[in-house]
Amino acid sequence: MSFCIVARCARTGNLGIGIASEHLAGGLQCDGAIRSRIGATLMLHAPTPANNRLAMRLLEQGYAPRHVLSELCANDPDHALRQIAIIDREGRVALYSGVDAHPAAAASEGEACIAMIDSLPGEPVVRALRASYESGASLDLDARILAALEAVDSADAAAMRSVALVVYGAHDYSEVDLRVDMHEQPIAELRRLYDEYQPFGAYYDERAKNPRAALPQREFADMLARKGEGAA
């Protein structure tokens, strides 16, 4: 079982995905699934890894998400098994749930966002994802997607073993790409990881630009630890 949210931030145009899975390393399904300033896609239920890049190339050629969806289905004899979400840089969405997907599979599209789950517990998970995401407009996209994953009832998320949070902005590399590949409580672990990572992201950017003035990472980390102790 896997569930996900695929979204575009209306303020920044950033594109992001959050996915939780009972499979190991489910975050690998995000590989190639976002292209900066082009779009994002995700497939659940027997995903075919080649489809992510195919979908991004078709969007890049200028096709609308709905047409890309029809091309992906036409290209895939087993498309009736799949669930596919596509969102483009304008926030247009396209959503497909094949007739042979799991009977409890559910999907829902909102304003520049799609929530999906490929089997039980189905609908309640999608509702929780969407409700949280839509109430989080003041958050940055990464925090908003993480909060949506956290909003899924813990009983519904109990079987999860892996999770990923990926956001692309203006660059051809990710702004955020965090993964938990094998863990008993991957969403809680992602939160720990996310909170730990926050101060470092800006530090790495600054260090790259101005290495001569940069604090060595060990000193930066020690400084953060001292601050943490001071606050506790």
Asked if 216 touches other proteins (CB under 8 A), the answer is yes
Q: What is the nearest approach in angstroms of other proteins to the Cβ of residue 126?
A: 27
- Tell which residue, 152, 150, 160, has the closest CA to residue 195: 150
Paired sense of beta strands 2-8 and 15-21, if any: antiparallel
Asked if 174 touches other proteins (CB under 8 A), the answer is yes
Q: What is the nearest approach in angstroms of other proteins to the Cβ of residue 147?
A: 19
- Residues within window 8-67 making contact with other proteins, judged by CB under 8 A: 24-25, 27-28, 31-32, 49-50, 52-53
Residue from the set 127, 185, 200, 224 that interacts with other proteins by CB under 8 A: 200
Residue from the set 37, 67, 89, 207 that interacts with other proteins by CB under 8 A: 207
Asked if 197 touches other proteins (CB under 8 A), the answer is yes
Q: How far apart are the first and last CA of the chain?
A: 38
- Report how far apart, in Å, the C-alpha atoms of 164 and of each of 24, 54, 153 are: 11, 21, 18
Residues in the chain: 232
- What is the C-alpha separation between 23 and 26, in angstroms, rounded? 6
Joined tokens for residue 104: 């409890």
Asked if 180 touches other proteins (CB under 8 A), the answer is yes
Q: What is the nearest approach in angstroms of other proteins to the Cβ of residue 80?
A: 23
Residue from the set 192, 225, 226, 227 that interacts with other proteins by CB under 8 A: 192
Paired sense of beta strands 162-168 and 15-21, if any: antiparallel
- What is the C-alpha separation between 146 and 154, in angstroms, rounded? 14
Q: Where does this chain bind other proteins (CB under 8 A)?
A: 24-25, 27-28, 31-32, 49-50, 52-53, 171-174, 176-182, 192-193, 196-197, 200, 204-205, 207-209, 211-212, 214, 216-218, 221
